[in-house]
Structure 1
C-alpha cells in the first residue's frame, strides 16, 4: 500500500512542477504545450488510479479490522439509531451545500467591488461571513440533534 502513496505523491509533485513551469515560463509553455497536455493527463490518471487503489486496499483493511473489533464485544447499533445519526448529519450536509452556493457569487462580487474601491474590504468580508454562517448554523443544529440521541 505504501507504493500507492508514493505513486500519488509523485503524480501530485509532477502536476505542481508542470503548473509552475507553465506559470513561470509562458513562452516555453507555448512550445511545449504538445508535450505537457499528455503529461498532465497521464499524471491525473495515475493519481486517480492510485486513489482508487488506496480505496480498495483500505476497504479491505477496514473490513478485516471490523472482524477483530466484533470479537471484542462492540455494541451493536440498531437500524433506528443509524437512521437517527444520518438524520442528525443531514442539516450539516444541506447547510454546507447552501453556504458553498452562496459564497461563490458573493466572493466574485466582493473581489470585483474591492478592485474598484479597496476601502470596501470590510463590508465584503462581512457578507462572506454571513454566507459562511449558514454552514455553522447547520453544524450547530446537528450537534444539538446528536446530543438528543
Structure 2
C-alpha cells in the first residue's frame, strides 16, 4: 500500500518541479516541447492509476474494525490508511461543488452587476440567480455530511 502512496507522491513532485522549472525559465519550453507533454501526461496517468488502486485496495481498511471496537490501548481511535482515504473521499464533494459554485457565481455576478446598473428594479431577480448558483456548494456540503454519517 505504501508503494502506491510513494508513486503518487513522486508523480505530484514531478509535476510541481516541471511547472516550477517552466515558470522560472520559459525558454526551456521551446527546447523540451517534444517530450514534456507526454511526460506530464504519463505522470498524471500514473497518479490517477495509483489513486484508483489506493481506493480499491484501501476499502477493506476503511470498513475494518479492530477487535476492541476500533480503540487502541491508549483509548484513542486508530485511523488506518483506508479510513484516511475515506475521510478524504468525504471532503471531495464539498471541494468540487465549491469550485463549481465559484465558476458559476463569477459570470452571474458580473452580469448581475451590469443588469442592475442599467435597470435597478432587477435586483431581486439577479439575487435569485446568484442564490441558485451558490446552492451548488450547499448540495455538495449536504452530500459530504451524509457520507460522513456512513463512516
Scaled by the length of structure 1, the TM-score of the pair is 0.50
Q: 1 or 2 for the larger relative contact order (CA 8 Å, sep ≥6)?
A: 1
Scaled by the length of structure 2, the TM-score of the pair is 0.49
